[in-house]
Structure 1
């Protein structure tokens, strides 16, 4: 059987596994490492805040466009060659990103880096899955999951350290030696499966590629930039929404009718993969949403540095790392995936509800510690069971196609999560601010005393009485805004928790129904 030929043993398997994880880590760390360097880039390249935001958006768009094509590209060029070429593209454009002299140059190089990087994530998952015998697949997913979950957490503290001690181009240069080592190891050790014949140029689904790029690229732009541009008040967002919807419909039609589709949608007939794909979306929403919200809160409300807020996430990532092999072993021993996923969702609910209860403008580092440990444990319980469920009954080429779907949905879930959270916070802050302001009665003795005290403080600093009064009102307004923002973060935690809680019965119910098919398919191997 095809997949049995790719199973590796001993030192060779260890080297292949390390190479694949290194590449997955490279890709994921790079998606978050830039966040803390945006300020320095802005000053250095003379860019505005919205222009510098494109450094993140371009990378995400490159990623999401290439991920669904990776299975097909592996077939076309041979997996080893395609994987090595992706690492080379990623490494070369990392060097060029560090050398960029203008903001748009940097954005273009980041797009290309994202196209090289997207392949690393999915292909490394397929390589690890196929290098292990069927009985050890769950353990293989646990090893791969380490990279995927620790990556986003490592990015900000590593970026913060590099920016504080060196300069921003070094966050890109750090990829170069790792990329060279990974390329050499790939060429030496990784093997390509024997695929069916390559497609001739006329058989290539060029229209499918174009429609996919239009649909996914537009969707990613809408999610990344919608909040800044006020959603449908922006002509660009309206046009891109139309492009995304029409592109999606035409893409589905093309892929289901073309003889050699670029994305094999028929693999979604597999019930386990369908559920795994939906759950991957929810996982992305939770993983990237919660990785995004805690550093954002600690930096914007509590005034922490990037390094401090990044370091806060490390114990949680280590918890996940400890959980991974344990969960891999539980799955290998036959514990049901849906039980573990439900437990993971329950822990995510506990984490969110905890966050809802403890955040104030003065929450200390120690208050976050156990809450984030619970999040780390929840992620461990979600990641491997979802991935191993999705890929559990796939064979040969289907594994790569399945990994592409789950990878893309996790990425899109993250983008949806971040877009939804930023919009929600902005809207809720306005609502809370209006509600809080309505309680500030100008005739109230407390309010008058507060204003008088602030005015006296500013006068003592040499301000004229009228400027001191204006400044006092400004301070009061800012403290109301801060309170409103804290309340909207509390709402985010609460609603995220409820979302995860609602998913639990759905997971238990749907997967039970698939249970019989799962056993039958398992017996067929």
Structure 2
């Protein structure tokens, strides 16, 4: 019976239950949290209108969640040890659910932002706890399949978020993008309470840790909060506030750099660090952290860029733009089980390196797009990228735990999620900045040739005026030409960004050669 169920390990959260039941249960809260990171993006205009605020003010609905989430994730491993993994997980689910209800019922923007802060705190504890549960519940040779099942919701959630958010906002109300979390959260709490077990060894380790009183690394916590909180603020608000021309952004950048450098020195030498930086001394773990950052960079970067491009350049609705990503979600669903079956049987590098090359191929395909892009072309580009994502996510999740002590799975999971989220924030921020800069450069270059001394310009404008006709045809032709220039400039800017991401991915590929291959012998190696 034990063999059929997977692994009779003293750290397993399954107890007498089938481990695959645990995967299904924790995936509910995962989907709820991951979906929420992207579902609100397409509804900002509706939220701003409904709460009588500007869109820039409404953007704090996204920023507040990301900042609180970024602060909690790195300390979630420590919190899980102190509070108890099951108890901490249930607190996180409950806080996320109650906060979602408050978001949906918020009568004003300040209250909505406050609720989103608590929602981010609750959401920050979910993914690290879940990945720790999976790593402890399944033996190394089965982890590939477990992470494949779990990874479906992690990768598909951001893909479905914009589509679902657009459908709900367009057809019901923006309030329901938050309220849909409530029944899912309640069901998750019920199932976790009845089926998820807290291993006795966890209680023993917690008593040993708390023996002589609880020692809290307050300085470490303050440095984490300042370092990652200010970094997230800088990345999320930088483009809106003019980057380093804004004193607010400059201050956040300085505080973040100083705090993160201080955190590294302080936690490396602290006996009981709130974030165990010393794990980065493990070569395998350090490389997987970089790969997870790359995965977040590519996943969230392209998930944001493609629908945004379709709306800005081609005037798609939010719903139609989101649906263009759905084909990619289907590719991920098909690829995940396949990767899960082979992940524990072949060298991790044989999956990881080709996966990165697939991302580079997808991005190269996107650099060939133009203003003549069809819906099928956009979907196919996303299809290539999405099909390769499982070959990134699962091998990284497996390789990260190779060589780590069993009691470090919680902290390792927390740091991996920091890398993924930070990669996503950096990817989105750099992409948006580059789009504006490159768009201005391309528009300037195109308009340089549009002057009366250029016979092609004069001839084209005359033909356009004749086509339009009417007393104001010359002005209308000039307006139409300017619109086309803007469209071409934007399209060229998107192509430049896709090319830059492709180059970044290719530069990361060689690091895969330095990964160690995990085996089925023992917990961590």
1:354 to 365, 386, 404: 365
Write the distance in 2 (CA, Å) between the matches of 1:2 and 1:221: 44
After superposition, residues 256-295 of structure 1 pair within 5 angstroms as: 256-295=268-307
Written as runs of structure 1 = structure 2, the 5 A alignment for 1:81-92 is 81-92=87-98
Taking the aligned partners of 2:456 and 2:489, their CA distance within structure 1 comes to: 19
Superposition deviation, residue 2 in structure 1: 10
Q: Does 1:304 align with 2:300?
A: no
Q: Once the 2 structures are TM-superposed, how far is the Cα of residue 451 of structure 1 from its aligned partner?
A: 3.5
Match of 2:494 in 1: 489
Residue in 1 aligned with 2:4? Answer: none
Q: Is the 8 A contact 1:393 1:521 kept in 2?
A: no
Which residue in 2 is equivalent to 1:473?
Answer: 478
Q: Indicate whether 1:222 and 2:252 are aligned.
A: no
Bigger CA drift: 395-404 or 473-482?
473-482
Cα distance in 2 for partners of 1:398, 1:203 equals: 18
Point out where structure 1 has 5 or more consecutive residues left out of the alignment: none
Cα deviation, 1:108-153, whole Å, max 9, x if unaligned, reads: 2111101101111111111122221232112111122111101101
**Distance across 2 between alignment mates of 1:280 and 1:119:** 18
In the alignment, is the contact (CA less than 8 A) between 1:6 and 1:130 conserved in 2? Answer: yes
1:176 is aligned to: 182
**Map of 1:226-265 to 2, 5 A cutoff?**
226-265=238-277
Cα distance, 1:409–1:5 mapped onto 2, change above 3 Å: closer
Q: Which residue of 2 aligns with 1:391?
A: 401
Secondary structure of the structure 1 residue equivalent to 2:40: helix
CA distance 1:260–1:10, shift in 2 (3 Å)? closer
> How far apart, CA to CA, are the structure 2 residues paired with 1:144 and 1:127?
11
How far 1:371 sits from its partner (Å)?
2.3
Matching of residues 126-141 of structure 1 within 5 Å:
126-141=132-147
SS at match of 1:405: helix
Q: Say which is worse superposed, 270-279 or 469-478, in terms of deviation.
A: 469-478
Q: Which has the higher helix share?
A: 1
In the TM superposition, residue 469 of structure 1 has moved relative to its aligned partner by 4.7
Deviation at residue 523 of structure 1 after TM alignment: 9.5
- 2:507 is matched with 502
Larger displacement relative to structure 2 (67-76 or 496-505): 496-505
Cα separation, 2, equivalents of 1:392 and 1:205:
27
Pick from 444, 448, 456 the counterpart of residue 434 of structure 1. 444
| Counterparts in 2 of 1:458 and 1:263: CA distance versus 1, 3 Å | same
**2:350 matches 1:339:** yes
Distance change (3 Å), C-alpha of 1:259 and 1:373:
same
Partners of 2:97 and 2:230 lie apart in 1 by: 26
Please say if residues 214 and 243 of structure 1, whose CA atoms lie closer than 8 Å, have aligned partners that are also in contact: yes
Matched position secondary structure for 2:331: helix
Conserved in 1, the CA contact under 8 Å of 2:43 and 2:169?
A: yes
Structure-2 change in CA distance of 1:5 and 1:224 (3 Å): closer
Which whole-Å CA distance do the structure 1 matches of 2:325 and 2:261 have between them? 40
TM value normalised by structure 2: 0.93
Q: 2:337 aligns with which of 318, 325, 333?
A: 325
Do 2:76 and 2:129's aligned partners in 1 also have CA atoms closer than 8 Å? yes
- Which of 18, 38, 42 matches 1:36? 42
Deviation per CA, 1:328-386: give whole Å up to 9, x if none. Answer: 211222x11112111001111110111111x2223111122332221122101111011
Alignment of 1:52-63 (within 5 A): 52-63=58-69
Does the aligned pair in 2 maintain the 1:7–1:132 contact within 8 Å? no
Q: CA deviation at 1:396?
A: 2.4
Relative to structure 1, the CA distance from residue 476 to residue 5 in structure 2 (aligned partners, 3 Å threshold; closer, same or farther) is closer
TM-score between the two structures when normalised by the length of structure 1? 0.93
**8 Å contact kept, 1:3–1:396:** no
Q: In the alignment, what sits opposite 1:363?
A: 373
Separation in structure 1 between the aligned mates of residue 364 and residue 417 of structure 2, nearest angstrom: 28
Cα deviation for residue 9 of structure 1 reads: 7.2
- More divergent stretch after superposition (495-504 vs 430-439): 495-504
Residue 70 of structure 1 deviates from its aligned partner by 0.8
Shift in alpha-carbon separation, 1:458–1:235, aligned structure 2, 3 A: farther
Which residue is equivalent to 1:68? Answer: 74
Moved more, 391-400 or 316-325: 391-400
Q: Which residue of 2 aligns with 1:153?
A: 159
> Structure 1, residues 470-523: CA drift from partner, whole Å, max 9, x if none?
554333222212111111111112222222222222322x22xx45xx569869
Stretch of structure 1 that moved more, 292-301 or 260-269: 260-269
Match of 1:144? 150
- Counterpart in the other structure of 2:391: 381
Q: Which residue of 2 aligns with 1:446?
A: 456
Q: Contact 1:432/1:484 (CA < 8 Å) preserved in 2?
A: yes
* Counterparts of 1:48 and 1:208, CA distance in 2: 37
What CA distance in whole angstroms lies between the structure 2 residues aligned with 1:99 and 1:524? 46
Shift of 1:202: 5.9
Equivalent positions of 1:4-19 (< 5 A) are: 4-6=10-12, 8=14, 12-19=18-25
Q: Is the 8 A contact 1:93 1:112 kept in 2?
A: yes
